[in-house]
Amino acid sequence: MSKETYSFQTEVGRLLDIVAGSLYSNREIFLRELISNASDACDKLRHMALTVPSLIEGDGEFKIELAADAKAGTLTITDNGVGMNHDDLLDTLGTIAKSGTGAFIEQLGKDGKADTNLIGQFGVGFYSAFMVADRVEVTTRKAGEAESWLWISDGKGQFTVEQASGDAARAGRGTAVVLHMKKDAKEFLEETRIRHIVKTYSDHIAFPVKMGDDALNEGSAIWTRPAKDVTAEQYKEFYHHSAHAFDEPWLTLHNRAEGMVSYTNLLFVPSHRPFDLFDPERKSHVKLYVNRVFITENAEGLLPTYLRFLRGVVDSEDLSLNISREMLQHDPKLAKIKSGLVKKVLGELKKKSEKAPDEYATFWDNFGAVLKEGLVDDFAMQEKLLEVCRFATTGADAPTALAGYVERMKDGQDAIYYITGEDPALVARSPHLEGFKAKGVEVLLLTDPVDEFWMQHITKFQDKPFKSITRGAADLDKVAGDANKDENEKKDDAPNLDALIAAFKLELGEGVKDVRPSKRLTESPVCLIADDGDMDVNLERLLRRHGQMTHAMPRVLELNPDHAIVTKLARRASDNADDAVLKDAAHLLLDQARIADGEAPQDPAEFARRLASVMERAL
Ligand code: ADP
Ligand code: MG
Whether the pLDDT of residue 200 is over 80: the answer is yes
Whether the pLDDT of residue 619 is over 60: the answer is yes
What is the arithmetic mean of pLDDT over 108-116? 58
Sorting pLDDT into bands at 50, 70 and 90, what band is 356? Answer: very high
pLDDT in tens, 570-607: 999 999 988 888 999 999 999 999 999 888 998 999 99
Cα(270) to centroid of ligand 1, in Å?
24
- Smallest Cα–Cα separation from 568: which of 517, 495, 499, 487? 495
CA angle 449, 454, 457 (to 5 degrees): 150
| 3-class secondary structure, 67 | strand
95 close to ligand 1 (CB < 6 Angstrom): no
pLDDT in tens, 358-407: 999 999 999 999 999 999 999 999 999 999 999 999 998 889 999 999 99
> Where are the domain boundaries for CATH 3.30.230.80 in the chain?
224-360
For the chain, state the CA radius of gyration.
Answer: 33
Sorting pLDDT into bands at 50, 70 and 90, what band is 490? Answer: very low
Looking at the chain, the number of H-run helices and the number of E-run strands are: 21, 23
82 close to ligand 1 (CB < 6 Angstrom): yes
| 3-class secondary structure, 482 | coil
Cα(92) to centroid of ligand 2, in Å?
11
pLDDT in tens, 28-50: 889 988 999 999 999 999 989 98
The span from the CA of 204 to the CA of 218, in Å, is 7
Beta strands in 107-257 (DSSP E): 133-141, 148-153, 158-164, 174-181, 209-211, 214-215, 249-257
Residues with CB under 5 A from ligand 2 (ion): 37, 125
Distances (CA, A) of 77 to 95, 295, 610: 21, 25, 80
What is the arithmetic mean of pLDDT over 536-555? 85
Cα(469) to centroid of ligand 2, in Å?
52
Name the closest ligand to CA 126. 1
CATH level 2 (architecture), domain 4-217: 2-Layer Sandwich (3.30)
pLDDT in tens, 440-489: 999 999 999 899 989 988 999 999 999 999 998 877 888 876 654 445 44
Cα(37) to centroid of ligand 1, in Å?
5
The span from the CA of 403 to the CA of 385, in Å, is 12
Q: Closest Cα to atom 14, ligand 1: which residue?
A: 92
Sorting pLDDT into bands at 50, 70 and 90, what band is 518? Answer: very high
pLDDT in tens, 301-354: 899 999 999 999 999 989 877 666 777 878 899 999 999 999 999 999 999 999
Beta strands in 425-509 (DSSP E): 444-446, 460-461, 464-468
> Where are the domain boundaries for CATH 1.20.120.790 in the chain?
498-618
CATH level 2 (architecture), domain 224-360: 2-Layer Sandwich (3.30)
| 3-class secondary structure, 107 | helix
pLDDT in tens, 128-174: 899 899 999 999 999 999 999 999 999 998 999 999 998 888 989 99
CA angle 450, 451, 452 (to 5 degrees): 90
| Residue of 32, 39, 40, 141 to mutate, ligand 1, most atoms within 8 A of C-beta | 40
The more confidently predicted of residues 550 and 427 is 427
The residue count of the chain comes to: 619
Per-residue pLDDT, 19: 74
Q: Are 376 and 306 in contact (CB under 8 A)?
A: no
Helices 232-243 and 191-202: crossing angle in degrees, nearest 10, is 80
The span from the CA of 406 to the CA of 523, in Å, is 27
558 close to ligand 1 (CB < 6 Angstrom): no
Per-residue pLDDT, 66: 98
Q: Are 451 and 372 in contact (CB under 8 A)?
A: yes
Residue 589: Cβ-neighbour burial (10 angstroms; 0-12, 13-18, 19+): buried
Whether the pLDDT of residue 108 is over 80: the answer is no
Q: Closest Cα to atom 12, ligand 1: which residue?
A: 92
* Domain 498-618: top CATH class: mainly alpha
> Where are the domain boundaries for CATH 3.30.565.10 in the chain?
4-217
Q: Has this prediction a pTM greater than 0.85?
A: no
Q: Which atom of ligand 1 is nearest to the CA of 81?
A: 24
Where b means 16+ CB within 10 Å and e means fewer, 263-297 reads: bbbbbbbbeeebeeeeeeeeebbbbbbbebebbbe
81 close to ligand 1 (CB < 6 Angstrom): yes
Among 105-109, 216-220, 441-445, top mean pLDDT goes to 441-445
| Residue of 46, 126, 136, 142 to mutate, ligand 1, most atoms within 8 A of C-beta | 126
| In the chain, % of residues over pLDDT 70 | 91
